[in-house]
Structure 1
């Protein structure tokens, strides 16, 4: 095993590095989750997380992963035999669709090439053809973590409304909340799901579900058999600052600290910082004469940049090399782009020097393995910054 010294550069697109302040908060003593001290903590984070989602409506917090949040949306709103509209923007959009089908739900699917966003006009055309309103929900990934592609959620809501279609809009914001502009209320989402380990800079273990009044009503009147993920029970308990079962108490201490961190910097300032880092990364990749997976300039993500390896070179071998030699972790290619793509994460507490160190490790790795590339990537990024 390679012996490493110094800082490990965790530059995957989540889990992201946890800030020291958050780690210290998580290390607080465990408290009674039925006592008044916990109720105060819960009310603080349940109120604060609404500001991050930019919503006036309830946000539920479950102990679980993003996959659990997917399932919660499915079982509370849909039943076997229902139909949803899904859009293929990458690996995670495909996984959400597959989970839905396991519950016996039909997926009317819009295929994609993993290099572009969910097209509002294509969604509108499918809904226009659905004259019987069989489609109960439109399911879209906001930031596709496998590809670095961001979809226009507000425009998709407008496309649904333009057809007068009653479908609910379910949005996966797992890797975008706290890292990209997102407006749960303003963009008309009915359900927005996220998890703790991406833009919220916590360890894995919490999932979040923001609801609209329409979604709450739909969960009251429909859905599947449910227990752990039942929104109705969680909503009832949360009113008094408690949970229907044991919550992840110490992660909630960390969440309180994260909300403070994001609001101290200011969400708009966070987004601007990550925009700059993403632009610098793309400048470096283009200067290296490598190809970015996302081919739509308007859809580039500020969470990550997915880079296509030159023909004949394996991205996993490259990732293994920079990890073993420079203690730098890059994201792997998933699904159909496995072995063809590596992903550079620039989210969370990443700053200019962190990014420049990351790009240095990448450029040294390209040289070491004699992967075809041009010189000047570091200088291009530095000039932009």
Structure 2
């Protein structure tokens, strides 16, 4: 018998739960595309995206998903034939590199692991070998939602600097922005991109790119540029040019509400909330792993993402995800890429609090019990104990 009637809970790594306030902000008539409302909305969004990316550089907003953000970042700073170094730690840096190759870049992948973060020492070694500075850009992700790995963006920057290499440092922050510390300028990132449907709590359909002065200089020399993504056109003061046509008004109204929520909570508090909920999820998983049928995909605890936990299963992970969805109304994430059929994912990102995460964990524990999957008992209790001990200190 199903007990799923009630509000469906998304515990998949995007799209994520959308706040009622965001949905309500979108429930309004369309505006004339050059109205003061839309002009002001565009300006405030671009300004507040700078605050979220933590940069005084230029920000750009696109009607696109994260893959569109990838393309926007690439086309604006590269020329066909440019060499790009991709740092692998799962599926998504590889995907970004595949896009660059399709667009005419010469792509080299620095081999990594689906179970560990990028090794900065390996990055430094490879860049030292590039004495002619043929490599024009280094691409990585801060969080790979397929593997659940979080990369040390600052350590990679230090590796690039240690090699005295001038390559552009380009970071995918789709699963990190609004979920964990990201400071574009302090981290030494030249181009960063993200999207709306994860930590920024807005429906899919918006992509964001931020660029510093070094990136804008490269942009002026780039020959891969195309009209829709072009930064020069979008820096025009005319609103129509900033959007290359009609703005995605209703998504922008939703994003405005989401950013208002994030800034009211304070970005540092948002990061801390994600860290606490991730640690609670990991406490539950550590108990379940005692049964030997489940294990963390990411071996080193410090390399586990604060927005998603990827869990390897000795058996069919669909037994867990199907039960959670059909019986409990909780949508977990199935694994993708190299982990297809081997794992499932629990997201704890965006518009999420302790009861929501505990509900997701309860659905998993119910599934493990119902399906006879060996597991240590008391996972949810361990998560509650962790939050009880640590969230209290935050509130005090």
In the superposition, relative to structure 1, how do residues 79 and 241 fare at CA in structure 2: closer, same or farther (>3 Å)? closer
Over the aligned positions, Cα root-mean-square deviation in angstroms equals 1.6
Q: Aligned equivalents of 2:283 and 2:256: distance in 1? A: 35
Q: Deviations over 1:141-194 (max 9, x none)?
A: 111111111111111112111221110000000111011110011111111000
In the TM superposition, what is the alpha-carbon distance from 1:116 to its structure 2 partner? Answer: 0.9
> If the length of structure 2 is used for normalisation, what is the TM-score?
0.94
Specify the alignment match of 2:159 in structure 1.
159
User: Matched residue of 1:254: which SS?
Assistant: helix
- Runs of 4+ aligned residues of structure 1 deviating over 4 Å after TM superposition are 238-242
- The correspondence for 2:367, drawn from 332, 357, 365, is 365
In the TM superposition, what is the alpha-carbon distance from 1:332 to its structure 2 partner? Answer: 0.9
In the TM superposition, what is the alpha-carbon distance from 1:238 to its structure 2 partner? Answer: 6.4
In the TM superposition, what is the alpha-carbon distance from 1:349 to its structure 2 partner? Answer: 1.7
Aligned positions, number:
383
Q: Aligned equivalents of 1:55 and 1:247: distance in 2? A: 24
Q: Does residue 56 of structure 1 match 2:60?
A: no
Q: Aligned equivalents of 1:169 and 1:89: distance in 2? A: 16
Contact 1:42 1:241 in 2 (8 A): no
User: Matched residue of 1:25: which SS?
Assistant: helix
- The correspondence for 2:352, drawn from 350, 353, 358, is 350
Contact 2:3 2:328 in 1 (8 A): no
Q: Does residue 314 of structure 1 match 2:306?
A: no
Specify the alignment match of 2:300 in structure 1.
296
- Is there any run of 5+ residues in structure 2 with no aligned partner, and where? 388-396
User: Matched residue of 1:358: which SS?
Assistant: helix
Contact 2:173 2:193 in 1 (8 A): yes
In the TM superposition, what is the alpha-carbon distance from 1:89 to its structure 2 partner? Answer: 0.7
In the TM superposition, what is the alpha-carbon distance from 1:212 to its structure 2 partner? Answer: 0.7
In the superposition, relative to structure 1, how do residues 258 and 190 fare at CA in structure 2: closer, same or farther (>3 Å)? same
Contact 2:75 2:222 in 1 (8 A): no
Specify the alignment match of 1:379 in structure 2.
381
Q: Aligned equivalents of 1:226 and 1:215: distance in 2? A: 16
In the superposition, relative to structure 1, how do residues 321 and 240 fare at CA in structure 2: closer, same or farther (>3 Å)? closer
Q: Aligned equivalents of 1:277 and 1:320: distance in 2? A: 23
In the superposition, relative to structure 1, how do residues 239 and 130 fare at CA in structure 2: closer, same or farther (>3 Å)? farther
Specify the alignment match of 1:224 in structure 2.
224
Q: Aligned equivalents of 2:210 and 2:61: distance in 1? A: 9
Q: Deviations over 1:30-56 (max 9, x none)?
A: 111112221111111111111111111
Q: Aligned equivalents of 1:127 and 1:180: distance in 2? A: 28
In the TM superposition, what is the alpha-carbon distance from 1:4 to its structure 2 partner? Answer: 4.2
In the TM superposition, what is the alpha-carbon distance from 1:239 to its structure 2 partner? Answer: 7.9
In the TM superposition, what is the alpha-carbon distance from 1:241 to its structure 2 partner? Answer: 9.1
Q: Aligned equivalents of 1:108 and 1:240: distance in 2? A: 37
Q: Deviations over 1:338-368 (max 9, x none)?
A: 0111000011121111111111110010111
In the superposition, relative to structure 1, how do residues 53 and 241 fare at CA in structure 2: closer, same or farther (>3 Å)? farther
Q: Does residue 193 of structure 1 match 2:197?
A: no
> If the length of structure 1 is used for normalisation, what is the TM-score?
0.96
Q: Does residue 142 of structure 1 match 2:146?
A: no
Alignment map for 1:223-372 (pairs within 5 Å): 223-237=223-237, 242-289=242-289, 290-310=294-314, 313-372=315-374
Q: Does residue 122 of structure 1 match 2:130?
A: no
User: Matched residue of 2:235: which SS?
Assistant: helix
Q: Aligned equivalents of 2:313 and 2:242: distance in 1? A: 49
In the superposition, relative to structure 1, how do residues 238 and 129 fare at CA in structure 2: closer, same or farther (>3 Å)? farther
User: Matched residue of 2:282: which SS?
Assistant: helix
Deviates further, 100-109 or 6-15 = 100-109
Contact 1:237 1:244 in 2 (8 A): no
In the TM superposition, what is the alpha-carbon distance from 1:104 to its structure 2 partner? Answer: 2.3
In the TM superposition, what is the alpha-carbon distance from 1:28 to its structure 2 partner? Answer: 2.2
User: Matched residue of 1:236: which SS?
Assistant: coil
Q: Aligned equivalents of 1:99 and 1:242: distance in 2? A: 24
Specify the alignment match of 2:102 in structure 1.
102
In the superposition, relative to structure 1, how do residues 86 and 235 fare at CA in structure 2: closer, same or farther (>3 Å)? same
Q: Aligned equivalents of 1:255 and 1:178: distance in 2? A: 13
Deviates further, 295-304 or 239-248 = 239-248
- Is there any run of 5+ residues in structure 1 with no aligned partner, and where? none
Specify the alignment match of 1:87 in structure 2.
87
In the TM superposition, what is the alpha-carbon distance from 1:251 to its structure 2 partner? Answer: 1.1
